[in-house]
Structure 1
Amino acid sequence: MAELVGPRLYSCCNCRNHVCLHDDIISKAFQGKTGRAFLFSHAMNVLAGPKEDRQLMTGLHTVCDIYCRDCREVLGWKYERAYEETEKYKEGKFILEKSKIVKENW
């Protein structure tokens, strides 16, 4: 008999609060402040900081830092606005740094 397994999740590295689903990964080919990062379509149990314009590797974007709702660890950022037409697909998406999240239910 097969065991029922829940969805594959990523959790905050600090407190294990569930923050995103593996199925929501759009790309693993992103760079964060601390190294490799993933682009997600959704995130949960996070808080957004104030919006600010930030010059990133791919141009100017309006972003807000994303914090774990439980422990307030900075996990990455959310793209609010992209100024370059080729970067518009990132709007409303989340960057979570690989070093800040851990796998659950794998």
Structure 2
Amino acid sequence: MAEWDELRLYSCFKCRNHVARHDDIICKTFMSGNWTAFLFSHAMNILLGPAEDRQLLTGLHKVADVYCYACRERLGWKHERAYEESQKYKEGKVVLERFKIIQEN
């Protein structure tokens, strides 16, 4: 595994807590309302809110909001379940809103 100083990381914009690795990005063209977002295979140093059904741009999904573990800022959401077959690839993945994270190194 690469050393920490060699990793490209994303951090919470508010407190700089590391929340994701660049290597875990699946897609950089997600939309969150009017904002861009990244789809990650997983995230770290986060807390999950309760899962709930939510109507998103691509249909109904069961999602849980994702919060920074350090400062509790809402950063995005985790896809717990996709009801449409074409959206199943999102299950277990994390969406982080681009304006809520900053790229380190």
* TM-score w.r.t. length of structure 2: 0.94
* Identity of matched residues, %: 66
Q: How does 1:13-92 map to 2 (within 5 A)?
A: 13-33=13-33, 35-92=35-92
Q: Distance in 2 between matches of 1:36 and 1:60?
A: 19
Secondary structure, counterpart of 2:72 in structure 1: coil
Contact 1:20-1:44 within 8 A present in 2 as well: yes
Deviation at 1:23, TM superposition (A): 0.4
Q: Distance in 2 between matches of 1:67 and 1:47?
A: 5
> What residue ranges of structure 1 are gaps of 5+ in the alignment?
none
Q: Which of the two has higher C-alpha Rg?
A: 1
Contact 1:67-1:73 within 8 A present in 2 as well: yes
Q: How many residues align?
A: 102
> What residue ranges of structure 2 are gaps of 5+ in the alignment?
none
Deviation at 1:6, TM superposition (A): 1.6
| TM superposition outliers: structure 1 runs of 4+ over 2 Å | none
Deviation at 1:32, TM superposition (A): 1.3
Q: Pairwise CA RMSD of aligned residues? A: 1.3
Write the letter of the residue equivalent to 2:64: C
